[in-house]
Amino acid sequence: FFFAYGLLKSPRAFACCWSTMKWGRPLLRLMDSFGRNHTYLRISLTERCNLRCQYCMPAEGIELTPNSNLLTHEEILRLSRLFVQLGVSKIRLTGGEPLVYPKIEEICSEIGATPGVRQLAMTTNGLLLSRKIEALAAAGVRTVNISLDTMQEDKFEFVARRNGLKHVLRAIDAALEHNLETKVNCVVMKGINDSEIADFIALTKDKPIAVRFIEFMPFSENKWNDNKFCSYESMIDTMRAHYPSVQPEETCIHDTAKQWRVPGHKGTVGFITSMSDHFCGGCNRLRLMADGNFKVCLFGEAEVNLKQMIAEGASDLMLEGIIREAVSKKHYSHGGHADMYAISQGNNRSMIRIGG
C-alpha cells in the first residue's frame, strides 16, 4: 500500500480519483503520457486451454497458476466494473480458452449488463462454441474472434497438437447464424500455413466475416524465430497474386488490422502487423490476466498485481490510483523494446498466460 498512499498524496492524482467517485463518471480517462485514451480491456478468465498451439505454449504445456492465486468470479466483476468507471467501454474475454471457464455464461451476463459496457466480445478457439453460442448471445456477447490457423485436418493437428477442425468450422457458421460479428484470426507462419492465405480469403466470398492474418509474434517458450516470420508485405503480395482487384478500406486509429476487401465479397480481409508495421500510436488496450496481474502492453514485461492489492484490503480508490500510475508509464511501442529481436530475447510470459 505504500505506493498507493504515496500516489494519493499528490493533490492532482487525488482530485482526479475523487472526482471520478464523487460524480460516478470518469472526468479523467485512462490517458497515458502520449495522449492515448484507453477504453478497451481484455480480461483473461483462465490459463487453461483445450489446445496446445505452437505459438502459444510449449508441447508439454505450462505450469498453471494454482486456483487460489487466480482472480475469483467476484474479483473479476469488481475490477471490470472499476475499469468501466474509468472509461472502459469495450471488454473482451479471453484465456487460455474462455469457454472452459466454469461460469462463462454467468460472467458474460453480469459484465454485459454493467452500465457503460457498449461492447462485450470474446476470443475463442471455437471448439466449444457451437454448444454454448445461444447462451452467450443471450448473455450479451456481440462479437467473437475465432482462432483458426489452417483448414487442413492434418495441419490443424500439427499446429494445435489436438484434433478439432470440424468443430471450429462449425463454430464460425453458428456465430453467423446467431448474428454475431464474427472474425477469424489466423497466425501466419512461413512454411506452415502461409500457402493457405488465398484459401482463407476465399471464405469472405460468401460469409460476412473478417478474416485477419496475424504476424507471428515472439513470446516466452514459443520458439519464435524469423525463419517462421511472414511479413505484411509478403502476405499482401500473396493476396494480390490471387485477388488482383482487392482494395484497401478505411480504418480508424484504434483498429489493429489493416482492412482490405475483394470486390463482390461479403467479408473483409485484415492484417495485424504488430512486428513489421506496428499500430501502437492508436493503442487503446489494457490487459487483466487470470492471476490478477494488470498489463498495459502486450509486449511489456511490467505488471501490477491487483489481486494482491485486493487481498491486502485496497479500496476502489486505491486501485484506481495504481491503475492510473501503470497506464501513465506505458511505453510508446512494444513495451519499450527496440525491435522484434529484442522482444524475443525478453522475459515476457507465454501467450497463454497473458491472454489471447
- Mean pLDDT per 10-residue section of the chain, whose length is 356 residues: 41 41 56 93 94 79 86 98 97 96 97 97 97 97 97 95 95 98 96 96 98 78 64 95 96 82 98 75 91 88 92 97 95 61 53 57
CA distances from 78 to 107, 123, 327, 351 (A): 11, 21, 19, 25
Helix (H, G, I), strand (E, B) or coil at 119: strand
The DSSP bridge pattern shows strands 304-305 and 293-295 to be antiparallel
Domains of the chain, earliest start first:
30-354 (3.20.20.70)
d(CA 272, CA 274): 6
Q: Scanning the structure block, which residue is given the C-alpha cell 454493467?
A: 114
How far, rounded to the nearest angstrom, does the alpha carbon of residue 14 sit from its chain's CA centroid? 31
Whole-number pLDDT of residue 90: 98
Return d(Cα 178, Cα 350) in angstroms, integer. Answer: 33
247-248 and 257-261 as β-strands: parallel, antiparallel, unpaired?
antiparallel
pTM, two decimal places: 0.86
> What pLDDT score does 9 carry?
42
Q: Which residue has the cell 485512462?
A: 30
Q: How far is CA 14 from CA 63, 83, 309, 318, 348, in A?
A: 40, 17, 18, 10, 32
Following DSSP, what letter does each residue of 37-66 receive, concatenated? Answer: B--EEEEE--S--S---TTTS-TT---PPP
Cell numbers linked to 22: 464523487
Find residue 44's DSSP bridge partners: 94
Cβ atoms 62, 111 nearer than 8 A: no
CB count in 10 Å sphere of residue 106: 14
SS3 295: strand
Cα gap 258→354, rounded to integer Å: 24
Pick from 196, 98, 84: which is nearest to 148 by CA? 196
How many helices and strands, by DSSP H and E, does the chain display? 13, 12
Spatial neighbors of 309 by CB under 8 A, at least 6 apart, are: 1, 4, 318, 319, 322
Buried b (16+ CB within 10 A) or exposed e, 176-207: eeeebbbbbbbbbbeebbbebbeebbbbbeeb
Q: How far apart are CA 289 and CA 175, in angstroms?
A: 26
| pLDDT score of 149 | 95
From residue 337, how far is each of 15, 223, 278, 282, 333 by CA, in Å?
A: 34, 18, 12, 18, 7
